[in-house]
Amino acid sequence: MADYAPAARLRTALRHFLRESETVARAEGLTPRQYLLLLQIAGAEDGTTTVSQLTGRLVLTQSTVTELVQRAEQVGLVTRSTSPDDARVAHLRLTPEGERRLAAVHGQLKGERTGLRRLIDADE
Amino acid sequence: MADYAPAARLRTALRHFLRESETVARAEGLTPRQYLLLLQIAGAEDGTTTVSQLTGRLVLTQSTVTELVQRAEQVGLVTRSTSPDDARVAHLRLTPEGERRLAAVHGQLKGERTGLRRLIDADE
């Protein structure tokens, strides 16, 4: 039988990482998907992006991303402005409150990200 | 604002990895959790483990793991035998069919695991 121990350790580390990430996000009043939405907007070039670009980065359908963005707008985490190049395209950006919560969650997960990377490296 | 691009890329890579893993597992007739169950049993020392040990490695509750094991036993993926040291403890092991399906999924995900590790290293 193949050596399954490295793949098994990788999966356990991923499960811990995702669970901790959910716990920290919820403590800041964000669902796991809202946290990923804020992260992908802030992590995009110039801190702005579109729904189409987000579907690829979030690996979700366009309709799910559209709903996620609408809800985030309603609760004041995200704003949209019309693209100067194409009036049909909306550019998304974080509000100061969105930035504050993203920074809080991202900062608390620093140790988790480092731990995940270290474990993955150790299994090479 | 902090540089969120590395954390954003990590999350996109994780989403792709988990989605691909689910697709490959389902093509072999396994749910994502069944695949993880088989992987954690095979990845444990001597290829055998207990429900208690699995709860930590799968990051699931004991009752969820118990149900998962019962179902896997019913469909012929896992067998249990009483521990020689403690009659209340059952040792779990894969059946030949469980080994076959685990090997098929694990083999097909090799490229995905390598890609995930490479991307995580590139972000250091």
Residues of chain B neighbouring A5 (CB-CB closer than 8 A) = 43-44
Map residue A37 onto helix, strand or coil. helix
Indicate yes or no: CB of B103 within 8 angstroms of CB of A58.
Answer: no
Amino acid letter, A65: V
Question: What's the CATH class of domain B5-79+87-122?
Answer: mainly alpha
**Beta-carbon pairs below 8 A across chains A and B:** 97
CATH number of A5-122: 1.10.10.10
pTM exceeding 0.80: yes
For residue range A11-59, list pLDDT tens digits in order. Answer: 998 999 999 999 999 999 999 999 999 999 999 988 889 999 999 999 9
Q: Minimal CA–CA distance to A59: which of B106, B17, B3?
A: B17
**Whole-angstrom distance between the N-terminal and C-terminal Cα of chain B?**
19
Choose the mutation target among A4, A97, A99 for the interface with B, i.e. most B CBs under 10 Å: A4
Residues of chain B neighbouring A4 (CB-CB closer than 8 A) = 39, 42-43, 102, 106
Contact A77, A101 (CB under 8 A): yes
Contact B98, B77 (CB under 8 A): yes
Please tell me chain B's helix, strand, coil percentages from 3-state DSSP, rounded to the nearest 5: 70, 10, 25
| pLDDT over 90 percentage in chain B | 69
For residue range A85-101, list pLDDT tens digits in order. Answer: 888 888 999 999 999 99
For position B121, what pLDDT does the model report? 65
What pLDDT band is residue A124 in, cutting at 50, 70 and 90? Answer: very low
- The domain ranges of chain A are 5-122
- Give me the phi and psi of A84, to 5 degrees please: -70, -20
Amino acid letter, A99: E
